[in-house]
Amino acid sequence: MIQDLSTRLKNSGIKPSVQRLKILEYFLHNRNHPTAAKIFQDLNTEMPTLSQATVYNTLALFKEKHLIKIISSEDQNARYDLTDNEHGHFYCKQCREVYDFPYNYADNYAQLEGFAIESEEIIIKGICKKCLERTSK
């Protein structure tokens, strides 16, 4: 597992370190679009030496190397997601949950033939089913 993670970092041009491996592992295990604060909070309990600055720096590096991306939610705090599998997002304005749904970007690019695409994101905003059900009761 650690070996895989290490290869993954190297393939993205990132030198593996204990902290970086830990943060990548966190992303793989937590597909809930965490904020930097949440990552720090969760990892700090098992890794007291981890600083907030390291988390922020690592996220910036991962982002620069396209390992993760920021979801354009309306949250004040950036929410992160791995870029490893294509999907769209639904952002609930009420509970601030970010839901994944399958979306194949390439299928929709007929009109963008010859364009250089640097990032891609589908984000749908509204109120999720859970919140709708809760308020209708």
Interface residues with Zn ion (CB under 5 A) are: 81, 92, 94-95, 100, 128, 131
CB of 32 to Zn ion, least distance (A): 9
Q: Which is nearer to Zn ion, 52 or 77 (CB)?
A: 77
CB of 3 to Zn ion, least distance (A): 26
d(CA 75, CA 73): 5
Output the CA angle 78-83-89, nearest 5 degrees: 60
Cβ-contact 65, 58 below 8 angstroms: no
Classify 45 as helix, strand or coil.
Answer: helix
Q: Which is nearer to Zn ion, 51 or 77 (CB)?
A: 77
CB of 33 to Zn ion, least distance (A): 6
CB of 111 to Zn ion, least distance (A): 25
Distance set, CA 134 to CA 24, 89, 93, 99 (Å): 35, 21, 14, 17
Q: Which is nearer to Zn ion, 2 or 123 (CB)?
A: 123
Q: Which is nearer to Zn ion, 22 or 89 (CB)?
A: 89
